[in-house]
Amino acid sequence: MGMTMTQKILAKAANLDKVEAGQLIEANLSLVLGNDITSPVAIKEMDKMNTEGVFDKDKIALVPDHFVPNKDIKSAEHCKCVREFAKKHNITNYFEVGQMGIEHALLPEKGLTVPGDVIIGADSHTCTYGALGAFSTGVGSTDMAAGMATGKAWFKVPSAIKFNLTGALSENVSGKDVILHIIGMIGVDGALYRSMEFVGEGVASLTMDDRFTIANMAIEAGGKNGIFPVDEKTIEYLKEHATRDYTVYEADEDAVYDEEYTIDLSALEPTVSFPHLPENTHTISEIEAMDDIVIDQVVIGSCTNGRIQDLRIAAKLLEGKHVAEGMRLIVIPATQAIYLQAMEEGLLKTFIEAGGIVSTPTCGPCLGGYMGILAENERCVSTTNRNFVGRMGHVTSEIYLASPAVAAASAMAGKIARP
């Protein structure tokens, strides 16, 4: 019986020839990640361990991104805690204001995540790095503390679901529509503690930004991780961003999967997730048959859709046009490099002339932080990843998850609209 990609990576990290689903292992870590919300808790837990220091100052990444630049005294104290810890332990990959970005966009951009890595992060969307053929998953702050201290973590080896992708996406359909379609199909617990492996000839047609988006939202289906095979596009991305050596793993032909799905990318439509669960999806054709869903705000950004491709897609639709009267359009580039590139390409000018605003890189309103909190009964189309009750503000507000194309079209129409 063969192993999946994820199982091969975990076997190597545990110094074992073979692992099976359900097996408990202790694995060596390639990287431990924390942000300004989760790191302070981990730091306090690590202090209780009475360790002499961190296991490897080069294999820890601390990225203040949720409330940065600080929005209040409490967030400033959290960041101060992280800053002082990074200085005390001489952490190589600490990103201060000016270098910071949204963690899950920043780390691949900096070349800190490569194929074959085992990465844990005290943030649920750490599964993003599976786009590069790495095993990455979110953990609690206590596990982060143990990881920083020992360089190891315990895992139960996950079983897997195979998603065979065929065809290619149509215009104005992107990776966000793919993952929303899948979550709508299998539900928010459809992949609970399982690896979501994306394979097939359709993978080649997906950009790296599409793949980051899809892997990022594996957690919204309950997945332990999402992972893509390493192909020519992955290697080109690594040539541009990474300098570390890496190992490419492929699933065995006789690898065992709990379930297999085939998805024809060419058949997908723009898809929107209605409140209050990501699985509550509707295609744009279904929405057009409904009464208009009037909105107050649009957010384009986050670790899911704040990359350069996302901004280009939105700007192309908005160029020479204007948002609806009374509409609030908030655009948040995911990193400083993306911000600079968008500025050089004229995308920021397009957003501002269209009546939008552009924020410094931050998670912002995605988790109800700041830079776009919703008031009572307000509706928002957002390219973020969660639409739970109260996620972006008042408990009666509503979040509709969508792609950058749908978000831009909706901003102009004042209602959910086809791009």
Q: How many other C-beta atoms are found inside a 10 Å radius of the C-beta of residue 237?
A: 21
Query: What pLDDT shows up at residue 50?
Result: 80
Query: Per residue in 92-143, pLDDT tens?
Result: 999 999 998 999 999 999 999 999 999 999 999 999 999 999 999 999 999 9
Query: Beta strand 24-28 with 152-156: parallel, antiparallel or unpaired?
Result: antiparallel
Query: Per residue in 53-95, pLDDT tens?
Result: 999 999 999 999 999 999 999 999 999 999 999 999 999 999 9
Residues 184, 238: Cα–Cα separation, whole Å: 32
Q: Three-state DSSP class for 325?
A: coil
Query: What pLDDT shows up at residue 1?
Result: 83
Measured N-to-C along each axis, helices 208-216 and 232-241 cross at an angle, to the nearest 10 degrees, of 90
Query: What pLDDT shows up at residue 49?
Result: 87
Query: What pLDDT shows up at residue 347?
Result: 98
Low-confidence ranges of the chain (pLDDT < 70): none
Residue whose token pair is 């047609």: 205
Closest CA to 227 of 236, 238, 239, 216: 216
Query: What pLDDT shows up at residue 51?
Result: 83
Q: What is the CA radius of gyration of the chain?
A: 20
Residues 194, 7: Cα–Cα separation, whole Å: 11
Task: Report the largest interatomic distance among the alpha carbons of the chain, rounded to a whole angstrom.
Answer: 63
In the chain, the domains with their CATH numbers are: 5-263 (3.30.499.10), 271-413 (3.30.499.10)
Query: Per residue in 273-287, pLDDT tens?
Result: 999 999 999 999 999
Query: What pLDDT shows up at residue 52?
Result: 82
Backbone φ, ψ for residue 354 (5° rounding): -80, -5
Residues making up the chain, counted from first to last: 419
- Classify burial at 355, counting beta carbons within 10 Å of its beta carbon; exposed 0-12, middle 13-18, buried 19 or more: middle
3-state class percentages of the chain: helix first, strand second, coil last, to nearest 5: 35, 20, 45
